[in-house]
Amino acid sequence: MTNQPPELFSAIDSLLAAVDEGTVLPAPAERVRLREAAGLTQAAVAQALGVRVPSISAWEAGRAEPKGDRLEAYRRLLDGLAHRYPGPAASPVHTTSPARTTSPAPRVGDRPEGQGQGQGQGQGQGQGQGQGQHQHSSAQPSPPATAASPVTEPAPLQGTFSGPTSAPAPQSAPAPETLAARVAPRPDTRPPVRKQAVRPPLHADPDFPHGPLAVLDGDGSAFTAVGVVLDCPASSVPELVEWALRESGLGAAKLHRNGKDADPLIVLTAAAAVKLGLPERLEGHEQRRSLRLPADHPVVKQVTGARWSLTQRGFGPWARVYRPAQSGRRQCVQLAVLSWDALDDRSWPGVAEMEPADIARALGTYARRVLTPRGSTAVSGLELMTALRPPTRAVEDPASGNWIPGHNPGSLGTDPVDPAPPEATSEHPVVVNSGWSGGFLDEEAYQWVRDVDLLTGQEATLPYAVGLDLNTAFLAASARMTVGLSGPEHLVRPPFNPKVPGSWFVDLSHVEVDPRLPSPFTPSGTRPQGPAWYQTHTVAYARQLGYEVTPIEAYLRRETGAYLDPWHDRLKTAYLDTLADLGVTKDLADQEFLTAMERHKEADPVMAAVLAAIKATVKGGVGKLRERPQGRHYKQGERWPALERPTWRPDIRAAVISKARVNMHRKLANTAAMTGLYPLAVLSDCVVYPSPGPSPLDFLPCDESGKPRPGGFRLGPTPGLAKLEGVQDLAWAVDLMEQGLNPARHIKGGDSVLDDGE
């Protein structure tokens, strides 16, 4: 005897009855054809049936089926359309089972099988009218998934793809459109736009068929990252937000199964901003951080009057407009205003001045490889950490059986953790309120210049000064690095353990280092004077050099983990893939690599800008871990907003920089041992050497077969390997050294400056 519940038999009987009565719905592709033949939008059908646009998208994709009265109403609509617009052949039947199907979702520009040319031409337009509009998941928990959603990249297609031309309009008048997102053919009068368009891949996320973002121009054209141009009829910010959430098909899947889908990003050109009632420029735009519209601005009143909210940042270059989540779905749209300097030229060189299609391509590539931008590259770098290590996961409450938020192992959690006094900044409440005077952790990047008197006569005869730059040194340092996840614990005279992250008060002044090399223990490269606070990697390096270390006290973290590993892995892949797009690959020989790097920025300015943004994301993200207070009204000892983030972790920042500086010193020492060459100067991840020739190949250590010797500097695109930063005459470098200036700061030429990531 079967143990199946009677409800299952009832459901099967209903399906069989529907088949016998001939009342099954047409196949998904036929549903789309019928709606498009009548010139109806998904929004119009949704309005008539009293459902949301994503429901119509799901029915037309075969991912769900209507029920009850809506099933009967939807069948009545399709039967009526089939009578008015018969197809060339009968479509295969499709059952009304509410279970998921394996039918692929229709894509923009695809023609369903078995349809004629005229019918297929309407497909692209209909799908752009809102297919798969899906609001993002909220922070509310859901049962754990088995795997994260894959992140895929569309294959390139030369030319502009705006969707096929629609079929001739029928004689009957179509239903009125609401704020419909449709794939619009570009007018012939539009000036040519240089862009490389791409089609959505076959396995694109059906919830977000038009990619993560769009660049909106003044004529209502919304250029997406997948090469489709949408027609956006919004004339106000509230209408734009509604369009983005309900009909645009924009967004991106979460990066971790316990995370949240990315909110749609709409980037406004200057013309689009003016059309929506925004000023083309904000007054005082040179002080970008504090920019925002006043609370009484008409646009702000429009937003709040439509019952939307703004974050505490207000309406600035990066604005978030949101409502509380409904039915477990987020309602939030990110806006970026180009003419308000949303894209800093230092991080996104030249992007703000590009054509909208190229801006969409640049930001879309960054979104696929890193994440959808949520502010500056520094903000995005920090947000990426949280997106890849969400603070909570869904756990089952044993008492109620409900799914509730619980701590996600390996994350920083939801509550901020105060640092130990030596890890904080001087204005931090932990320092001010405790009266701390025991010194601070000084783990910063190198800024060192060798004493000119230590130059040998042989070095002085060399003609060139050659600068080497380590690729994303902070990113390389974050690989497989254990950091503290919990709060600090104070210990007195603890034994040193190199596996425990924390801050150690120890005397390293007895460690002898060649004066032609910087000290590995201070950012200035000078020898320490007495006890000081150091991060674990710095103290461990002293022991590796063969010296005894005896900590006096320490603040240690017992709960540890490789928190930055997924952050490192994603950014490393993004960096290498973008370099490969520019012709710089890991299989190049050294001279080929140098030649490719010399030309890579000219190969594709759009991808060169993406590469710069990825590098800025690394440095900025590390710097944001210790964001200082901003604003002239701040008073020492007060808490500032950044302290309320779980990611305000100066100890993790110190760990990354300490390891990067130690890695640099190890390469310097090994190179000196192998070649007898010593650096002239070091600034962050750039080092300048005297050289007999203008190429790094003239002095880098190699074995007899010409292969680089392990332990020293090596050329290559991988993070941690080196590239040529610049070449100057040695006399030029010595002149700067005599003036107390750092040649590494200017070796590239012009006023080039390297910073420490903050």
For the whole model, what pTM was predicted?
0.74
In a shared domain, residues 111 and 198: no
* pLDDT of residue 559 exceeding 50: yes
- List, in sequence order, the alpha helices (H) in 676-742: 730-738
In a domain, 561, yes or no: no
* pLDDT of residue 175 exceeding 50: no
In a shared domain, residues 106 and 203: no
In a domain, 253, yes or no: yes
In a shared domain, residues 241 and 319: yes
Give the Cα separation of 233 and 57 in Å (integer): 20
Mean model confidence pLDDT for the chain: 83
In a shared domain, residues 119 and 203: no
Sign of CA dihedral 348, 352, 354, 356: positive
* pLDDT of residue 539 exceeding 90: yes
Domain end position, chosen among 318, 353, 375:
375
Give the Cα separation of 576 and 580 in Å (integer): 6
In a domain, 665, yes or no: no
- The kind and range of the H/E element at 407 are strand 403-407
Strands across the sheet with 553-556, in order?
489-492, 553-556, 502-507, 531-535
Confidence bin at 114 (pLDDT 50/70/90): very low
Residue, of 455 and 128, whose pLDDT is higher: 455
Count the Cβ atoms, other than its own, within 10 Å of residue 468. 26
* pLDDT of residue 41 exceeding 90: no
In a domain, 91, yes or no: yes
Q: Region of 501 please: left (phi>0), alpha (psi -120 to 50) or beta.
A: beta
Number of domains in the chain: 2
pLDDT tens figures, 200-242: 443 457 889 999 999 999 999 999 999 999 999 999 999 999 9
Give the pair of three-digit tokens for residue 652. 């993790």
Q: Region of 220 please: left (phi>0), alpha (psi -120 to 50) or beta.
A: left
Residue, of 418 and 92, whose pLDDT is higher: 418
Residues in the chain: 758
Closest CA to 537 of 486, 483, 487: 483
pLDDT given for residue 20 in this prediction: 64
Count the Cβ atoms, other than its own, within 10 Å of residue 145. 12
In a shared domain, residues 118 and 204: no
Give the Cα separation of 69 and 209 in Å (integer): 29
In a domain, 715, yes or no: no
State which residues form the domain around 257.
182-186+193-375
CB 364 within 8 A of CB 371: no
> Comparing 15-29, 80-94, 591-605, 722-736, which segment has the lowest mean pLDDT?
80-94
- The kind and range of the H/E element at 230 are strand 229-231
Question: SS3 for 71-123, per residue?
Answer: HHHHHHHHHHHHHHCCCCCCCCEECCCCCCCCCCCCCCCCCCCCCCHHHHHHH
pLDDT given for residue 495 in this prediction: 97
Give the Cα separation of 525 and 519 in Å (integer): 4
Give the pair of three-digit tokens for residue 484. 């503290």
Count the Cβ atoms, other than its own, within 10 Å of residue 445. 24
* pLDDT of residue 304 exceeding 70: yes
Domain end position, chosen among 83, 110, 127:
127
In a domain, 109, yes or no: yes
Confidence bin at 56 (pLDDT 50/70/90): confident
pLDDT given for residue 57 in this prediction: 81
The upper half-sphere exposure of residue 517, i.e. CA atoms within 13 Å in the direction of its Cβ, equals: 21
CB 368 within 8 A of CB 151: yes
Give the Cα separation of 585 and 150 in Å (integer): 24
Identify the residue whose tokens are 């617009």: 85
pLDDT given for residue 174 in this prediction: 39
Give the Cα separation of 377 and 354 in Å (integer): 18
The upper half-sphere exposure of residue 729, i.e. CA atoms within 13 Å in the direction of its Cβ, equals: 3
pLDDT tens figures, 245-292: 999 999 999 999 999 999 999 999 999 999 999 999 987 644 445 689
In a shared domain, residues 367 and 241: yes
Region 193-204: mean pLDDT is: 40
* pLDDT of residue 58 exceeding 70: yes
Confidence bin at 122 (pLDDT 50/70/90): very low
In a domain, 31, yes or no: yes
pLDDT given for residue 14 in this prediction: 64
* pLDDT of residue 646 exceeding 90: yes
In a shared domain, residues 218 and 89: no
Confidence bin at 10 (pLDDT 50/70/90): low
In a shared domain, residues 256 and 336: yes
In a domain, 238, yes or no: yes
* pLDDT of residue 383 exceeding 80: yes
pLDDT given for residue 707 in this prediction: 85
In a shared domain, residues 120 and 197: no
